[in-house]
Structure 1
C-alpha cells in the first residue's frame, strides 16, 4: 500500500504545484491591474481639472477658440480614460475570479473541499433511489467535491447526470472522450469557470430569464403604437427646429408635443418598466453568458460530443450565438443609461424607451427561442469541465470500460472522497457470484465499501474517471437501502420505510431492468428471527433476477446462504488488537467474519461490565 500512496501523493503534488503557480501569476497580474486602475483614476482627475482650468483661463483672456479646443480635447481624453478604466476593471474582476478558481482547486486537492459553500443541498431528495445513501448532495457530498459549475444551468446539468445517468454506453463513451480532451485545456476550463463566477449569485434564476425571452409583447404590433413612434418624434423635433428658426411663433407648440410625449411615457410606465427592468436586471449575467459562449465558440474540438455542442451555438439564420447575445448586451447598455440626463432628453423627444422595447422585442422574436439551447450548451460544457477537473487532479485513476454482461470488475478500487484514509480493494461481481454478502464487526468498513462501489459507479456512468486501477461494469439502475430512518411527518417507522424501499427495488426487478443494489444491515428494525428469514428470502429472490448487488450484515448465520445458493458469495472485513487498541485494515477478504468487537468498543467508551 505504501508505494501506491506515495504515487498518489506525487500525482496530487504535481497538480497542486500547477495551481499554485497559476495562482501566483494571477496574484501578480492583479496587483499590476490595480496599479493601472489607480493610475488611470488619478490621470482622469488631472485631465478633468486641467482641462477645466485651462478652459476657464483662456476664457478670461478672451481666447475662446483655444478654450473650446482644450475643453473638447479634455472631454474626449476623459471619455477614453473612462472606457479604458471600465475595461481594466472588468479584466481585473476576471483575474480575481481566476485567482479564486486556482485557490479553490488547491483546497480540493488538500481535502478542504468540505468548506465549499455550494454543496447541492437544494437537490437533496430522500425519495430518490440512491442519492441520499451515497451522499450525492449535501455536506461532505460528491457534488460538493466535484462541482465547478457556476451557472444555474451548469449545476442543473451536473445534478441530472449524477441522479439520472444515461445508461447508453455509446453516449457515456462520448462523454469520456470529451472529458479526456478537456483535461489538457486547463486555461479554457478555468476561464469558463471564472467567467461564470462573475454572474451574481442572486441573479441565477435562469428560468425567469428564459421565460422573459419567450414572452411576446403584442403592443409593438399595434398600428397606433407604430404610428406614434414615427409621428410623435417627427412632430416634436420639427416644432423645436421651427421654433429655433422662427422664435416669433412662440414655444407653445413644441411644449405641447413634449407634453404629449410625457403623457405617452406616463401611460406606458408600467409596461416600460416591466420589460426594460427585467432585461436590465440580468445585464451582467447576459454579459457573462456572452463571454462564456464566445470562449466556447473560438476553440476547436476533436471529441464528437464537443463538436456537437459547438454546432448548437448558432441560430436558424446561421448567426453565431455570441453575436446574437452581443446585440442583446448592446440593447442592455442603452437601457442602463436611461436614467441619465441625456437619455431622459432622448426619451422626451423620441420616446426612446419604446424604441428600446421594440429593439428587445425584435431580438426576442429572432433569437429568444434559441437562448435556452445556448445556455444548455454552456451548462453541458460546465458539467464536462467539472468531470475533467478530477481527471486532471487524479491522472492515475482509470476510465471505466463497459460490459454487456452483468458484472463489475475492479482492481485497486477505493472511495474518491477519502484521500487520507483511502484503502483499495479488488472486487468481482457477476462472474462467480451475483450477490456479495459482506460481514464484519462494527467500524470494520462494510458500509464504506458499499458506498465505494456505488459512488464509483455514479462517476463511471457520468463519463468520469473512477478511483481505481482498472474498472469494468455493465450499465444498471442503482438502488440502495442503507440510511433508512423514521419519517415523523408521514408517521412511518424506520422498519416500514425500509420495507417501502425494498418494495421499490423488487418492483424494478420485476420490470426486467438491470439492477444494481446496495443493502446495508437490512431489516435491522425487527427481531433476529424475522430479520434473518426476511433477508434470506430477499437475497434468494434477487439472485434469481437480472441483478447484482452487495448486502452487508451482522447476521453471521446468513453466511450459510453461500452453500445453498451458488450466486451468493461471502466476504468480510477484519480487525486486530494491539496494546489494548483496536485496528482495522479495511481489506476485503473471502469468507465469513469470525470476530466481534461490540463489547470491546463499549469498554473503550467507558461502559463497564461485570466479569
Structure 2
C-alpha cells in the first residue's frame, strides 16, 4: 500500500506540472522567441497528458481507498480478537468509520430490560466484537436483534445463514470492504429520506402540474427567440421577456423544490453511494440456500434491480446536490432545471420507491448476519445454542463472558432450574458474581439474536432477559439509590407476571416467553435486616411467576427463610489471601456448589492500609 500511496502522490505532482506547463505554453505561445507552432504542439501534448493523468489518478485513488479499507478491516479484526478496544477504535476513526452503536450513549437506556447492564453497546462492548455494519439499516437491524429475543424458528433461520457466512471469510471480507467504501448515512438523514419516499408528489401538491410542460416549452421558446434576435428577426425584448418569465417561475418554485431535494437526500452524500454494496450482495454466491430468503428482496423482480435503481437515484441526487450554488441558479433559470430534476425524481419514485424500504431492510439484515458471522468465525470454539420450546430452562457448559480474552476467561457450568427455583450466587467482593450474571444474560441475548455464544454448549428455551445490576440514583429526580433499585425490581416483577400475548415487542409470539431475571446484590441501599425481609419478598414474587433466574448476594442469611432455602440452587466463588509479606488477594473464578464460606471486606481494608484505628 505504501508503494501505491507514493505513486498517487507522484501522479498528483505530475498532473499539476503538466497543467501548468501546458497552460503557460498555450497562453504565451505568441510571446516566445520560437515559432508559435512549437509551444502550441508542446502545450497541447502537455494538456492531453494532464487529462490522461487525471483519469489515471482517479482510478488509482479508488484502488488506494479499497486497499486502505482492506487494511483497516484486517487491523480491526486483529484488535477485535485481542480485545484491544482503544486500538480498534483508533483504526476505525483513522479510516473515518463511525458506528452509533459504539458510542458511549448507545447503552444509556436505563428503562430497557437489560441494555444498561450487559455491555451490549458502547466502546468496550459486545458490539465491538461483531463485524461492521456500514449502512444505517445495518446498525438499526443489529440493535433491534440485540434488544429483543426472536422466536425460536427465526433464531434457527438466522443461525443457518450465519453459518453460511462464517464459513466464507473471503466472500464476507469482500462484502465488508464494499460496505466500508460507502459514505455513512446519519440517522436523521436516513429518517428524512424514508419520509420523503412516502410523501405526496411535489406535483401538484407544491408546484403546479403544468410546470413540467412549461419547463420544456418555455426555455425552447426563449432559445428560439434568442437565435432569431441574433439574425435581427425579432427585437431583444422578445427573448428578454420570456427569460424574465423563466426567472420569476424559477424563483417562485425554487423554495419548495429545494426543500424537496433536501428531503430526498441531495445534501446527504451517503444516500448516494450505496449501489456498489447492493451490487455486491446481488452477485454474492453463498455456499448454501440459507441466505436465499434474506437475499430475495434484492434479486430482480418486475424488471427492477436494486443496485441499478439505487444508481439511478444517485444520478438524480448528484444533479440536485448543487442546488443553491451560483451555477445552479443559472441552470435553474435558463432551463427551469429544478422542475426537470423534480420530475425525474418523481418518475423514479413512482417506479421504484415502493421497493426501496424492502431493499434497505434486506441490506440491513444481511449486514447484521455478516456481523454475527464475523464473531462465529473469530471464535470457532463457541457454539450455537439449542433453542427450543418447552418449560423454561437454561443449561450451559463452559459458559464464559465474551468480552474477556481466552487467556483470562474462566468458564463455568451453569444450570437455571425451571419456574419455582432460582440460582443463589454468593461470594466475596470481586470474586466473579456479577461477571457470571452478565455471562448468563449475554448468552441468552446473543443466542436469541442468532449468534454463537461463549459456551461449549447451551440449551435453552425462549426467554426474555431482565436485569437489575447497575443502579443509579438521581439528584434531579429526587430518587435515592434504594428507591431506584426498588423501582427497577418493581418493573422486573411486573415483567415476570406479564403473560399476555399483546405485550409490546412480542407480537410474533402466541404468548411472550418466560422471564430470565438476573439480580446483582439485591437491595444494597438499606440496613441488613430490612434488606433481608424485602429481598425475600421480591424473590418470593418471582418464584410465584413463570420465571427463572439468578440472584447474587453477600448476605449469607438470605436463604434461611425455608421457602428460599428449598427453592435455591446454591453456588459460590472464593478467594485466597497471601498472608506472608505483602498481602495479595487472588481469585480463581471457579464456580463451586454451596454457600460461600469466606469473606474479604476486612482483608481488603487491610490491604489498602485502612485497617488501623483512627
More helix by share: 1
Q: Give the structure 2 partner of residue 449 of structure 1.
A: 436
> Over residues 470-496 of structure 1, what are the superposed CA-to-partner deviations in whole Å (9 max), with x where a residue is unaligned?
111111111111222322232222222
What corresponds to 2:403 in structure 1? 417
CA drift of 1:80 comes to 5.7
Shift of 1:296: 0.9
Q: Identify the range of structure 1 (330-339 vs 564-573) with the bigger mean alpha-carbon deviation.
A: 330-339
Query: SS of the residue aligned with 2:401?
Result: coil
Tell me if 1:183 matches 2:186: no
Looking at structure 2, the residues matched to 527 and 120 of structure 1 have their Cα atoms a distance apart, in angstroms, of: 34
Distance 1:237 1:122 in 2: 57
Which of residues 242, 249, 252 in structure 2 aligns to 1:257?
Answer: 242
Rounded to whole Å, the distance in 2 between the matches of 1:594 and 1:235 is 97
Moved more, 151-160 or 465-474: 151-160
Residue matched to 1:142: 126
Alignment match, 1:109? 81
In structure 2, the partner of 1:32 is 4
| Residue of structure 1 equivalent to 2:455 | 468
SS in 1 for 2:392: coil
1:264, distance to aligned residue in structure 2 (A): 2.4
**Partner of 2:65 in structure 1?**
93
Unaligned runs of 5+ in 1: 1-26
Cα distance change, pair 598–473 in 1 and its aligned pair in 2 (3 A): same
2:531 alignment counterpart = 531
Give the C-alpha shift of residue 186 in structure 1. Answer: 2.9
Q: Which residue of 1 aligns with 2:597?
A: 594
Change (3 A) 1:266 1:535: closer
Distance 2:311 2:4 in 1: 29
CA distance in 2, matches of 1:262, 1:386: 52
Match of 1:235 in 2: 221
The alignment yields a C-alpha RMSD, in angstroms, of 3.5
**What is the aligned partner in structure 2 of residue 511 from structure 1?**
498
Alpha-carbon distance between aligned partners in 2 of 1:571 and 1:339, rounded to the nearest angstrom: 69
2:470 equivalent to 1:483: yes
Q: Displacement, 1:409?
A: 1.5
How far off its partner does 1:224 sit?
3.2
Structure 1 position 596, deviation (Å): 1.2
Could you tell me how far apart the structure 1 residues matched to 2:329 and 2:57 are? Answer: 25
Whether the aligned pair in 2 keeps the contact of 1:433 and 1:566 (CA below 8 Å) is: no
| Residue equivalent to 1:19 | none
Paired residue total: 581
- 1:311: how far off? 1.4
Q: Is residue 409–residue 429 contact of structure 1 (8 Å, CA) maintained in 2?
A: yes
Q: For structure 1, which segment, 121-130 or 320-329, has the greater mean C-alpha deviation from structure 2 after superposition? A: 121-130
User: Which residue in 1 is equivalent to 2:423?
Assistant: 436
Deviation digits for residues 431-482 of structure 1 (CA, Å, limit 9, x no counterpart): 7983111111122111111111111211111111111111111111111112
1:131 aligns with 2:115: yes
Q: Deviations over 1:291-339 (max 9, x none)?
A: 2111111113356563122111268633111111111122233335678
* The 10-residue stretch of structure 1 (233-242 or 534-543) with the greater mean CA deviation from structure 2: 534-543
Measured in 2, the distance between the counterparts of 1:148 and 1:291 equals: 17
Aligned partner of residue 115 in structure 2, secondary structure: coil
CA distance in 2, matches of 1:75, 1:582: 75
Q: How many Å separate the matches in 1 of 2:365 and 2:136?
A: 11
Contact 1:516-1:547 at 8 Å conserved across structures: yes
2:295 is the alignment partner of 1:310: yes
Alignment partners' CA distance in 2, 1:300 and 1:103: 26
Query: Do structure 1's residue 271 and structure 2's residue 256 form an aligned pair?
Result: yes
1:13 corresponds in structure 2 to none
Counterpart contact for 2:299–2:306, Cα < 8 Å: yes
Specify the SS of the correspondent of 2:134. Answer: coil
1:174 is matched with: 157
Unaligned runs of 5+ in 2: 94-101, 500-512
Cα separation, 1, equivalents of 2:527 and 2:173: 55
Please say if residues 124 and 138 of structure 1, whose CA atoms lie closer than 8 Å, have aligned partners that are also in contact: no
In the alignment, is the contact (CA less than 8 A) between 1:315 and 1:367 conserved in 2?
no
The Cα shift of 1:381 comes to 1.9
1:357 aligned onto 2:329: no
Secondary structure of 2:195 counterpart: helix
- Larger deviation: 195-204 or 339-348? 339-348
TM-score by length of 1: 0.85
Matched residues in 1 for 2:267 and 2:52: separation? 26
Post-superposition offset of 1:169: 0.9
Closer, same or farther: CA 540–43 of 1 in aligned 2, 3 Å: closer
Name the CA distance, whole Å, in 2 between partners of 1:610 and 1:65. 102
Corresponding position of 1:10:
none
> Within 1, Cα distance between the matches of 2:20 and 2:290?
54
Q: Aligned partners of 1:520 and 1:202: how far apart in 2?
A: 39
Contact residue 184 and residue 270 of structure 2 kept, 8 A: no
Match of 2:274, SS state, is helix
Asked if the contact 1:44–1:81 (Cα under 8 Å) also holds between the matched residues in 2, the reply is: no
Note closer, same or farther for the CA distance 1:582–1:106 as it changes in structure 2 (3 Å cut): same
Task: Please give the TM-score of this superposition, normalised by the length of structure 2.
Answer: 0.84
SS at match of 2:273: helix
